[in-house]
Amino acid sequence: MISIISEFSIAALAGLLLGLFYFGGLWLTVRGITCGKRPEMLMLASFVIRLLVALSCFYLVMDGRPGRLVACLSGFLLMRYVLTKAAKRGEPAGSLTSPRG
């Protein structure tokens, strides 16, 4: 039998990987919008695929145990925080997300 700590650690690791997939895919999609002929279709398809994969993985990881879901969501949100910080570090001056004065 797997211990509770191992169970939650595996769920958190799954959340980290899922967050990397979801937010990494979002980053690639946003960067690819300017290159495509139909950016609205790219955004829609990317959103649907990322959402279906994320929800399916959350369901599989949870396996009927709310604690696993919480651990997985924690890893997912931690990866969001890490990737957001990494993206802001590489952000050029005067970009759209910079405050305007």
**For the chain, what is the domain count?**
1
Q: Is residue 74 within 8 Å of residue 14, measured between CB atoms?
A: no
Separation CA 61–CA 14 (nearest Å): 8
Residue 99, pLDDT > 50, answer no
96 lies in a domain?
no
- For the chain, report the end-to-end CA distance as a whole number of angstroms: 59
Residue 11's Cβ-count burial label (10 Å; 0-12, 13-18, 19+) is: buried
Q: Flag whether 36 is in a domain.
A: yes
Whether 92 maps to a domain, the answer reads no
Q: 1 falls in which pLDDT band (50, 70, 90)?
A: low
What does the pLDDT read at residue 53? 97
Residue 97 belongs to some domain of the structure: no
Query: Whole-model pTM above 0.75?
Result: yes
Print the domain residue range for 68. Answer: 7-83
- Render pLDDT for 18-66 as a digit per residue (tens, 0 to 9): 999 999 999 999 988 888 788 899 999 999 999 999 999 999 999 999 9
